[in-house]
A and B are shown apart, each in its own frame.
Chain A
Amino acid sequence: MYVYDAFDAAFLATRNAQFRAQVERRIDGSLTEDEFKPLRLMNGLYLQLHAYMLRVAIPYGSLDSAKMRQLALIADRWDKGYGHFTTRQNIQYNWPKLGDVPDMLDSLAEVDLHAIQTSGNTIRNVTSDHFAGAAADEIADPRPYAELIRQWSTDHPEFQFLPRKFKIAITGSPNDRAVTRAHDIGLRMVTKDGKPGFEVIVGGGLGRTPMIGKVIRDFLPERELLPYLEAVVHVYNQHGRRDNKYKARIKITVHEAGLDTIRAEVEEAFLRIRGEFEAVDEAVIARIRAQFTVPDFLSGGAEALDIARRDPVFRSWADTNLAEHRHPDYAIVTVSLKAHGATPGDATSEQMRVLADLAERYGHDELRISHQQNVILPHVRKADLAVVHAALKQVGLGTANIGLASDIIACPGMDYCALATARAIPVAQELAQRIDDLRIEHEVGALQIKISGCINACGHHHVGHIGILGLDRGGVETYQITLGGDATETAEVGQRTGPGFAYDEIVPAIERLMLAYLEIRAGDTETFLQTYRRLGAAPFKEALYGPEKQRNAA
């Protein structure tokens, strides 16, 4: 875990003091809202539907117990005792009062956390693989690079007023768990001649115009990471369209200018600025890497897992919520924040404290937040899994559904967000409840359902196997379905099925899709996505809308 040095701490203290003074001046009337708004947004403070919202970055999704406990304390002291983990590895507090926010930010600074650049047209929180540092398939831990990018991008003078927001994701594994192909820049670690480097993907993104990112550089040596990133953002900053908000993201710049043109300009800029970074980066990355040490893993004890598996409740949880660890006697535990009927991504302060305690006691003091809105204990000995599971169950965190139909991503939607066009949370709640009532999710197997409450796609609906998009159609909440999306290294944007469904029709519609899949799949091992790819949309459309002939007659 990276620990702030004196420079980091001083920078953050100064920034927080500045914002405290800005809040005071807003409250005493010296600043108008027009003057104050960009200042509060630079510090992660939004004004939403019912209240202010503070969005706190969890850099590359990594936390330790001290940070998690502080997030719980903040939830209790200044909010309503819970927090909402988002698809960009942030935590959002939904009910802060304006006058309290400077205290919240100081409280965050005590544990090296901040809300800087969680809004605005800047480089946002760098997201990463939530199994970073633990995954069996990992080439190298991506977090030192992510921290390097955080330091480089924070308050970067050239990139404070980009044409639009800019999102970077990084993974150290060939299996992409960080949705790198749907980011402005995606970095995927690869090796060439035994040396690690990055495949650089550019111009991916969801939202109004979903696009899968394109490879702009198939191998970038690790020491050239920052100058190359700087070159990409520099070229985007010059060419990105400031005349039209809907065409301002780099995906449109790349699409309109063409990948080859952008690549040539980036390479030219890269050659120009590379010299400024030489030697500096290597020293900095070495210093950062020294803080992401591999825990002292304890060998042995794996047989305890086989004994624990005799308990069917534990076995069910182990089957879905455990992933392979780089050490044979350890497992990666994904803790579901998707109890059936609960709000996806929400954790109470009590749950946060239990997670912190478990991380400290059984998990080498490490936690991760996933873009799928769950919490990960990345390093748990197989010997300790039964006791960890029992402790999780006590506080409603024992749900065995990771990767299944009820492990739904949902944005806050119109229950909180001022931009939303329809609700997302209650659709997720009712759908998960229905799935549980039917007891079919283990039979259905791997299925990702993702719900967004507006076209901006914070709920990643485009890359859900089943995507749901909530819209306002003539003053009525309407939900469009997309099928066949894929968030992994084989990323694809889902295709719309047809007309949307009313609020009270959407859960039965998704139920019909799942039942149709069970009917038409080629055996138990063919997943929903595989069936869709084999048969196309036709049988699913029939499940949604009835036989084609009937539809044409109507």
Chain B
Amino acid sequence: MMARPFSPKIVTANALLEGDVVYLTEDDRWSRRHDEAELIEDEAHATIRLLDAERQANVVVGAYLADAKSGPNGPEPVHFREAFRSRGPSNYAHGKQESY
């Protein structure tokens, strides 16, 4: 049986101090922007990058891998939950969308 193909991922978490959603970039920064995240296409590399994130437990909380896809400006969310996390709530222009 063929193994299921790996769907691309990003590493995301919440910032320890602000609680804001953050994304791990290729150059090891935590960005507030989804489209700056490193899009990980390889499963082994994804595991390593998640471990990299988890080692930064004094900067971020609750790191995990989320599905993402390639877009014209960088990675885009796949699931609606990640789309909301990348924007902010729908009832007020609070959160990330405030600064867009």
Contacts from A to B (Cβ < 8 Å): 26-27, 29, 32-33, 47-52, 80, 94-99, 343, 346, 414-416, 423, 425-426, 429, 472, 475-477
In the complex, the answer to whether A51 meets B18 with C-beta atoms within 8 Å is: yes
Asked if B90 is at the interface of the complex by the 8 Å CB criterion, the answer is yes
Q: How many residues of B contact A (CB 8 A)?
A: 25
Looking across the interface, which residue of chain A has its beta carbon closest to that of B62? A47
Asked if B81 is at the interface of the complex by the 8 Å CB criterion, the answer is yes
In the complex, the answer to whether A477 meets B80 with C-beta atoms within 8 Å is: yes
Beyond A49-B21, A51-B20, A426-B91, 9 additional contacts (C-beta under 8 Å) are A48-B19, A49-B84, A50-B85, A50-B89, A346-B91, A415-B89, A415-B90, A425-B91, A429-B91
Looking across the interface, which residue of chain B has its beta carbon closest to that of A412? B89
Asked if B73 is at the interface of the complex by the 8 Å CB criterion, the answer is no
Of all A-B residue pairs in the complex, the 7 with the closest CB atoms, nearest first, are A415-B89, A51-B19, A52-B19, A29-B58, A50-B95, A343-B91, A426-B90
Choose among A51, A96, A414 the residue with the greatest number of B CB atoms under 10 Å from its CB: A51
Please tell me which one of the listed residues B21, B61, B78, B89 contacts residue A416 in the complex, with CB atoms under 8 A apart.
Answer: B89
Contacts of A49 in B (CB 8 A): 21, 81, 84-85
Contacts of B84 in A (CB 8 A): 49, 414-415, 423
Contacts of A477 in B (CB 8 A): 80
In the complex, the answer to whether A97 meets B19 with C-beta atoms within 8 Å is: yes
Looking across the interface, which residue of chain B has its beta carbon closest to that of A49? B85
Looking across the interface, which residue of chain B has its beta carbon closest to that of A343? B91
Asked if B16 is at the interface of the complex by the 8 Å CB criterion, the answer is yes
Looking across the interface, which residue of chain B has its beta carbon closest to that of A475? B79
Asked if B17 is at the interface of the complex by the 8 Å CB criterion, the answer is yes
Q: Which of B47-75 contact A (CB under 8 A)?
A: 57-58, 61-62
In the complex, the answer to whether A27 meets B17 with C-beta atoms within 8 Å is: yes
Contacts of A346 in B (CB 8 A): 91
Contacts of B85 in A (CB 8 A): 49-50
Give Cα A94 to B57, complex, Å: 23
In the complex, the answer to whether A27 meets B19 with C-beta atoms within 8 Å is: no
CB distance from A90 to the nearest CB of B (A): 18
Looking across the interface, which residue of chain B has its beta carbon closest to that of A429? B91
In the complex, the answer to whether B18 meets A97 with C-beta atoms within 8 Å is: yes
Give Cα A155 to B96, complex, Å: 38
Q: A47-B62, A425-B90 are in contact. Are A98 and B17 (CB under 8 A)?
A: yes
Give Cα A505 to B10, complex, Å: 32
Looking across the interface, which residue of chain A has its beta carbon closest to that of B86? A50
In the complex, the answer to whether B57 meets A50 with C-beta atoms within 8 Å is: no
Q: A32-B57, A47-B62 are in contact. Are A475 and B80 (CB under 8 A)?
A: yes
Q: A33-B61, A50-B85 are in contact. Are A99 and B90 (CB under 8 A)?
A: no
Give Cα A355 to B33, complex, Å: 39
In the complex, the answer to whether A50 meets B90 with C-beta atoms within 8 Å is: no
Q: A50-B19, A51-B18, A475-B79 are in contact. Are A95 and B94 (CB under 8 A)?
A: yes
| Overall SS of chain B's interface | loop
What does the 1/0 interface line of B23-44 toward A look like (CB < 8 Å)? 0000000000000000000000
In the complex, the answer to whether B16 meets A27 with C-beta atoms within 8 Å is: yes
Contacts of A426 in B (CB 8 A): 90-91
Q: A50-B19, A50-B21, A475-B80 are in contact. Are A423 and B57 (CB under 8 A)?
A: no
CB distance from B44 to the nearest CB of A (A): 26
Looking across the interface, which residue of chain A has its beta carbon closest to that of B89? A415
Choose among B58, B91, B95 the residue with the greatest number of A CB atoms under 10 Å from its CB: B91
Give Cα A425 to B91, complex, Å: 7
Give Cα A50 to B81, complex, Å: 11
Q: A33-B57, A33-B61, A33-B62 are in contact. Are A50 and B20 (CB under 8 A)?
A: yes
Contacts of A476 in B (CB 8 A): 80
Contacts of A27 in B (CB 8 A): 16-17, 58
Give Cα A48 to B84, complex, Å: 12
Give Cα A476 to B80, complex, Å: 7
CB distance from B35 to the nearest CB of A (A): 17
Contacts of B21 in A (CB 8 A): 49-50
Give Cα A96 to B20, complex, Å: 10
CB distance from B36 to the nearest CB of A (A): 17
Give Cα A51 to B62, complex, Å: 12
Looking across the interface, which residue of chain A has its beta carbon closest to that of B18? A97
In the complex, the answer to whether B17 meets A51 with C-beta atoms within 8 Å is: no
Looking across the interface, which residue of chain A has its beta carbon closest to that of B60? A33
Contacts of B17 in A (CB 8 A): 27, 97-99
Contacts of B62 in A (CB 8 A): 33, 47
Contacts of B61 in A (CB 8 A): 33, 47
Please tell me which one of the listed residues A29, A80, A472 contacts residue B94 in the complex, with CB atoms under 8 A apart.
Answer: A80
Contacts of B58 in A (CB 8 A): 27, 29
Contacts of A416 in B (CB 8 A): 89
In the complex, the answer to whether B90 meets A47 with C-beta atoms within 8 Å is: no
Q: A29-B58, A33-B61, A50-B88 are in contact. Are A414 and B19 (CB under 8 A)?
A: no
CB distance from A162 to the nearest CB of B (A): 25
Contacts of A425 in B (CB 8 A): 89-91
